[in-house]
A = this chain, B = another copy of it.
Amino acid sequence: MSTSPRSRLRATDARLPPTAAAPPEGTRRRILETALQLFASRGYHDTSIRDLASALELRPSALYAHFAAKDHVLAELVRIGHEAHFEALETAFQGAKPTPADQVRALVHAHTRVHAEHPQLALVVNEEFYALSLELAAPAQALRDKANAMLLDAIQRGMAQGQFSPLHPHITAAAIVGMGSRIPHWFEPGGPIAVETLAKTHAELALRMLGSVSGA
């Protein structure tokens, strides 16, 4: 009769990014990776504990030795995703020349890489974030706010220095950040466009949007 729901993304090998602090190991890691793939392709609410267990060739009850509840799995993925994202942004920022244009370029480049290299995680972080309770979402929300502030700050310094002339800073910042969020929906890692090409292009697009005097 009716066809099953489709996957929301093209990518199929869900990897966890390396994180500084205590990377998960063993079964806990396998659960996270499998959940990542399922949550990304079908959504948190459309993935049951049974689906997850069966993909892991485990009984549902076995999962509860590793996570207290289904939403704790999501919360952990969201936390990992935000940490990897924030660390990448910080590293990029620190490696950039101290000009607003270079900082924006570096931030957008890193933002894009993270989304392109970990499209499942990016999708889960962006779309399933709202399935978490405020409590479980809080650590991620804090990082999210800090990351946004980094970019906004660079933009505002660029404007103050006469380097940027965005039509509307708020709208432009949203558009720049949004380019990253959209990546998992169309970009295929290993496909015709290289991650590096995408990252460089997004960085230059951001500068164009900002009307950067030294833009592409």
Residue of B71, B179, B208 near A178 (CB, 8 A) is B179
Q: Which of A115-172 contact B (CB under 8 A)?
A: 127, 130-137, 167-168, 170-172
Cβ-defined contact, B179 with A175, below 8 A? yes
A181 on the interface (CB 8 Å rule)? yes
Q: Which of A76-131 contact B (CB under 8 A)?
A: 127, 130-131
By a CB distance below 8 angstroms, the chain B residues around A46 are 45, 131
By a CB distance below 8 angstroms, the chain B residues around A179 are 175, 178
| Complex CA–CA separation, A216 to B208 (angstroms) | 11
Beta-carbon nearest neighbor of A172 in chain B = B205
By a CB distance below 8 angstroms, the chain B residues around A178 are 178-179, 181-182, 185
By a CB distance below 8 angstroms, the chain B residues around A187 are 174
A197 on the interface (CB 8 Å rule)? yes
Categorize the interface residue count of chain A: 35 or more
Q: Which of A1-9, A20-28, A30-38 contacts B (4 or more CB under 8 A)?
A: A1-9
A193 on the interface (CB 8 Å rule)? yes
| Complex CA–CA separation, A202 to B175 (angstroms) | 8
**A120 to B: closest C-beta gap in Å:** 14
| Total identical chains | 4
Cβ-defined contact, B3 with A133, below 8 A? yes
Cβ-defined contact, B130 with A167, below 8 A? no
Residue of B42, B170, B205 near A175 (CB, 8 A) is B205
Cβ-defined contact, B134 with A6, below 8 A? yes
Beta-carbon nearest neighbor of A192 in chain B = B170
**A54 to B: closest C-beta gap in Å:** 14
By a CB distance below 8 angstroms, the chain B residues around A135 are 2-3
**A53 to B: closest C-beta gap in Å:** 14
- Ranked nearest first, the 3 interchain pairs of A and B with the lowest CB-CB distance are A178-B182, A45-B45, A3-B134
A and B contact pairs by CB, cutoff 8 A, 9 listed: A4-B133, A171-B202, A171-B205, A172-B201, A172-B205, A174-B187, A177-B182, A178-B185, A205-B209
